[in-house]
Each structure stands twice: as C-alpha cells, then as structure tokens.
Amino acid sequence: MREGETHVTRILALCDEEIAIGFRLAGITASAPQGRQAVEVALSEELEKARFGLVLIDAKLFEDIDDRLRQKALESELPFVLAFPLGLSDVAPEELDRRLGEMVRQMTGFNLLGGL
C-alpha cells in the first residue's frame, strides 16, 4: 500500500434474508442462500475467488455444511471465515458474553477471561 492510501477490507455476510437486510443497511454485502447446497456453493465460491477479506457466516448455516468445506473455511486466511451466531436477541447477556469470549479465543488463541 502506498503512503496516503487506505485499505478497506470488504465483508460478506452469509445469513438469512431478515438479517441480511440489516447488514445491507450497514453497508455490508450480504447474501441469503437458501438450503445447504446453496450455502456450500456460495462459501466455496468465496474461498476460491477471495473477493472479500472477511466472510461472516451464520453459525447455524456453518454447522450444516460439509465437514471438508467447513475445515477448509476454518483454515482459510483470505478470506478469513468467521461463523457467528446471528439472530440471538432471545439469548441472555451472560450467554452472549460467554459466546463472544469463546469466538475471540478460537480466532486469537487468547482467553479474555484468563489469558492463553
């Protein structure tokens, strides 16, 4: 990157249509693939083309995909794939904190509540 240039990482969200609308309103590219096969095709395409720096995928969708594709996504550096529990408005704040801490630990190896 040259001096004075900024780099913006593009983000793609793979989720249901209701949540995709919110991402789009926030300026994030979002797709709402219907069914396991469509999710697998969308994720495979993004892993191959690397058009986005970050792919957020609803954890429920991520759990349902083929094990080999899930492993490939977890090992991908570009795009970085993050399975994120979306649509959790009915989850207690303590549980949300625990889940967020676990996601940070998985991504970084650092436990927010107690070191490595």
- Residue spans of the domains in the chain: they are 11-84, 90-116
Q: Where are the alpha helices (DSSP H) in the chain?
A: 17-25, 36-49, 59-64, 67-75, 93-108
Reported confidence tier of residue 107, pLDDT bands at 50, 70, 90: low
Instruction: Tell me the average pLDDT across 101-116.
Output: 62
CA 65 to chain centre: 14
The structure's pTM equals: 0.72
Q: In the chain, what is the straight-line distance between the N-terminal and C-terminal CA atoms, in Å? A: 33
pLDDT in tens, 61-82: 999 999 999 999 999 988 999 8
Architecture of domain 11-84: 3-Layer(aba) Sandwich (3.40)
Task: Using the predicted structure, report yes or no on whether residue 5 has a pLDDT greater than 50.
Answer: no
Residue 93 has what pLDDT? 66
User: Residues 11, 92, 60, 18: what is their CA dihedral angle, to the nearest 10 degrees?
Assistant: -60
